[in-house]
Amino acid sequence: MMLTMGSATYHVQYTFKKVEATSTELKGKIMCPTEQCEFLFAVPVKSFQSSDSHRDLKMQMTTEADKFPQATAKGQFHIDELKKDKTIIQAQIEMHGITKTYPVILEEQGTKASFTLDLDAHKIERPSLFGIKIKNEVPMNFNLKWSK
């Protein structure tokens, strides 16, 4: 299956403000040659946009988007996981040149996914607003539309 449309959104929390940025440049595929499926996703780090281009530029600098232009996710799961309304699989997320394994929640037969990115684990310096750093945990949400 190939991803025909997809978006990825991150949510950062400052003490008094919540910020979201979304990319619609998510690419991905799921291959199920047997009952064991493999998946691979990629999103250009510079493609995330919020309502504030200055903030977007700051996040690109923070994540060193020129040096690490893509974030990727890959892993395996049993084909039956795609039939469930909600399940948890494991994914190897590469961000900022560092790969970590995360539990990923799949919902609605694989059309929605979410996990929480740990900035410290990827050695990403947390940006701040008025000297107050964002929270280390960054929730990520994905909307996915597949072709067979």
The pLDDT tens digits of the residues spanning 61-92 come to 999 999 999 999 999 999 999 889 999 999 99
Give the pLDDT of residue 17. 75
The pLDDT tens digits of the residues spanning 122-133 come to 999 988 777 878
* CATH number assigned to the domain comprising residue 120: 2.40.128.110
Please give the Cα distance from 122 to 76 (Å, whole number): 22
Q: Specify the DSSP element, H or E, that contains 93.
A: strand 86-95
Please give the Cα distance from 17 to 75 (Å, whole number): 34
| Residue range 31-53: mean pLDDT, rounded | 93
Domain that holds residue 21: 2-147
| Residue range 10-38: mean pLDDT, rounded | 89
Instruction: Give the single-character DSSP code of 126.
Output: P
